[in-house]
Structure 1
Amino acid sequence: MTLLAEKAPTHAGTHVSTRDWRGWALDRAPFLVACLMLAVIVGVYGSYQTGVFTLDELNLDTSAAMTLMLAATGQTIVLLRGGIDLSIGGMISLGTVIAATRFTDDPATVLFWSLFVLALGAAIGALNGLLISVLKLQPFLVTLATWSILNGTAMIILPTDGGSVPGWWLGFGYMTLFGLSSPVWMLLALLVFWWWFRWTRLGVTIQATGSNEKSAFLSGVSIIRINVLTYGLSGLFAAGAALYLTTQTGAGSPTIGKDYILPSVAAAVIGGVSLFGGRGHLAGTLVGAFILTLIGNLVFVLKISSYWQPVASGVILLLSVLASSIAEKAARGRSA
């Protein structure tokens, strides 16, 4: 009896450990699938293109993906809350035209207008959160309306693509430190931000509210405050995406923001962020952004029609949604 009693905990512990390991794998299944997809794409890309596995290629690919990464970071925070933010398209367009029409060779002027764009993005995002909370409106409709307003304002300021930014501002995207370009350092900064954010009270509360808003409210969480901060952060990152985009294009565009709305959602979903809130993390979103960016490169090196790019993106998104659905059903089965 003594021996059986001593062995029982060991066996039970092993069983729990195995169950926990399976649970860990299921919870991260969408992210692991995304990493596998990225590895396959990079492998195929590298087999057709020389120099893929170099720092230079990392710098180039990160530079190409950074605008989407910044936009998708804000979108990820909103999706974790259980919402969606279409207004990032309008904010990106408006931010680029403000930069292209207001930036001069004077660094102080550039700093002023950069801070203005960032503050404007945060304020508009906060307004979205306030309208959603106070008026009890759907996030889709509210952010669709603000997207239209911002896009229209951008067209009033600059009806067609144009304007310019200082040459030294363009050089920001090509600066290097220890062989890594500024976008790579920005990528590392995003990861550090997320590591900090997910352990803060705000980050934990946003994710908990996205999982179960009623329980969060009963626990004393201010839904208005959470919505204002969540959408405010989304607007801030969209404004940052707009400023970074001007370092790549050197001009403003009143319509360019629409190209980042659905891809920002797709990048998050591909990386394992749930559209229903409460599940996911930024690392997966960044992987998703790399996947969407590298698909274009892969289509080019394979010398096939560019029309296949959205087809490939759609297939990858469908597989990611399927993996996420399986993981969520398994999670509900374990908790039942």
Structure 2
Amino acid sequence: MTLAARSEPVAADVRPRAARDWTALVVDRAPFLVACAMLLILLGIYSTLQRDVFTLEELNLDTTASLTLLLAATGQTIVLVRGGIDLSIGGMISLGTVIAGTQFGEDPANAALWAVIILAIGVGAGVANGLLISVLRLQPFLVTLATWSILGGTALVILPSDGGSIPSGWTWFGNTGFGGLSTSVWILAALVLFWLWFRATRLGIAIRATGSNERSAYLSGVSLTAVNCATYGLSGLFSALAALYLVTQTGTGSPTVGNGYILNTVAAAVIGGVSLFGGRGGLASTIVGAFILTIIGNLVFVLSISSYWQPIASGVILLAAVLASSLAEKSARRGGM
């Protein structure tokens, strides 16, 4: 009797805990799984309209088309996991392409020097965002909106319209490859390796912890100022990298080209399952989301639909992804009750 009486409460405690753990796992993974299912459906539709979809050549083409977005969205993902948002991505991409188009010239050493300067500007602008948000306690949306305006305005001052030129060696690098894979695929592989390393670092853990619960992270000794500066600094770095890759594809600078990437970086991350409230998601989610947007563009082209319909389709997919993820979370919670 005594033994049975003692064992019953133990079993009663173990079962709810296991149920809660399973529910938490499903809730955490549901948005990403929904996005993967959506990508497979779109690929299935695309394969019925276009031949040789599942080939290395198609992988190279789609990755090349997606990589600028993926580079910028990597930075945005880090910011979203922190619980913020970065609108200055668009201004940094525009400014980076303009500087490249007007300053690179034909000397490889000069082009390399200015590439480093562009990266430094990206990091500096991002750190400035982090300081303004932390020290002055300003909203990330307003701070990065202002920074976007400053960077984009500077790009217009330097180059009022599309123009400039990029060294032939620079564009060759962006359009070559080896081992049957394009440069873009190898860069994407490097991005994945970076993320696998980054998420396990103290900074990566601190960013996710701060995004999950800022107060708890602060009480645990995490410096919010340092985390914000690092988070937005990395976003600026990846925006600059996106600009440097973009000019290998366009061959010119453009003072407004970055504007189209601002909301698309958010859309790619959110469609893939990154939370707008911080603490959840990663690069895998963003990659899936970016390829969903790319396949939508491919479908619009194959079906000979006006390109004006592409943002409409992307918006519908974004709403569907958010709704499906929300329903999956509610269903998982009910199942765990």
TM-score grouping bracket, smaller chain normalisation: over 0.9
Match of 2:150 in 1: 149
Match of 1:199 in 2: 200
Cα displacement string for residues 108-134 of structure 1 (whole angstroms, at most 9, x for unaligned residues): 111101111011100110000001100
Match of 2:179 in 1: 178
Cα displacement string for residues 56-96 of structure 1 (whole angstroms, at most 9, x for unaligned residues): 11001100000000110000000111110000100000000
The one-letter code of the counterpart of 1:47 is T
Q: Distance in 2 between matches of 1:331 and 1:147?
A: 39
Match of 1:312 in 2: 313
Is the Cα–Cα contact under 8 Å of residues 68 and 264 in structure 1 kept in the other structure? Answer: yes
Matches within 5 A, 1:75-114: 75-114=76-115
Q: Distance in 2 between matches of 1:48 and 1:21?
A: 40
Match of 2:212 in 1: 211
1:42 aligns with 2:50: no
Match of 2:325 in 1: 324
1:254 aligns with 2:255: yes
Which deviates further from its counterpart, 319-328 or 150-159?
319-328
Normalising to structure 2: TM-score of the pair?
0.92
Q: Distance in 2 between matches of 1:163 and 1:57?
A: 31
Match of 2:190 in 1: 189
Q: Distance in 2 between matches of 1:12 and 1:216?
A: 28
Matches within 5 A, 1:3-152: 20-152=21-153
Match of 1:161 in 2: 162
Cα displacement string for residues 166-202 of structure 1 (whole angstroms, at most 9, x for unaligned residues): 1111111222121111100111111111111111110
2:326 aligned counterpart, secondary structure = helix
Is the Cα–Cα contact under 8 Å of residues 91 and 257 in structure 1 kept in the other structure? Answer: yes
Q: Distance in 2 between matches of 1:331 and 1:242?
A: 41
Q: CA RMSD in A?
A: 2.6
Q: Distance in 2 between matches of 1:18 and 1:138?
A: 38
Q: Percent identity?
A: 66
Q: Distance in 2 between matches of 1:252 and 1:143?
A: 22
Matches within 5 A, 1:262-277: 262-277=263-278
- Deviation at residue 12 of structure 1 after TM alignment: 9.3
Match of 2:238 in 1: 237
Q: Which runs of 5+ in 2 are unaligned?
A: none
Cα displacement string for residues 283-325 of structure 1 (whole angstroms, at most 9, x for unaligned residues): 0101101111111111111223333322211111012212333
The one-letter code of the counterpart of 1:305 is S
- Deviation at residue 9 of structure 1 after TM alignment: 9.4
Q: Distance in 2 between matches of 1:52 and 1:289?
A: 17
Is the Cα–Cα contact under 8 Å of residues 23 and 333 in structure 2 kept in the other structure? Answer: no
Match of 1:224 in 2: 225
Which deviates further from its counterpart, 257-266 or 40-49?
40-49
Quick one: structure 1 residues 327 and 127, their matched pair in 2 at CA, closer, same or farther if it must change by over 3 Å?
farther
Q: Distance in 1 between matches of 2:24 and 2:161?
A: 52
Is the Cα–Cα contact under 8 Å of residues 27 and 331 in structure 1 kept in the other structure? Answer: no
Is the Cα–Cα contact under 8 Å of residues 88 and 261 in structure 1 kept in the other structure? Answer: yes
- Deviation at residue 259 of structure 1 after TM alignment: 0.5
Q: Distance in 1 between matches of 2:50 and 2:266?
A: 29
The one-letter code of the counterpart of 2:131 is L
Is the Cα–Cα contact under 8 Å of residues 27 and 327 in structure 1 kept in the other structure? Answer: no
Is the Cα–Cα contact under 8 Å of residues 271 and 318 in structure 2 kept in the other structure? Answer: yes
The one-letter code of the counterpart of 1:246 is V
Is the Cα–Cα contact under 8 Å of residues 274 and 324 in structure 1 kept in the other structure? Answer: no
Quick one: structure 1 residues 108 and 82, their matched pair in 2 at CA, closer, same or farther if it must change by over 3 Å?
same
- Deviation at residue 328 of structure 1 after TM alignment: 5.3
Which deviates further from its counterpart, 324-333 or 35-44?
324-333
Cα displacement string for residues 214-256 of structure 1 (whole angstroms, at most 9, x for unaligned residues): 1111111111000000000000000000000000100000011
Q: Distance in 2 between matches of 1:108 and 1:312?
A: 44
Q: Distance in 2 between matches of 1:298 and 1:256?
A: 23
Equivalenced residues, count: 336
Which deviates further from its counterpart, 166-175 or 188-197?
166-175
Q: Distance in 2 between matches of 1:329 and 1:210?
A: 21
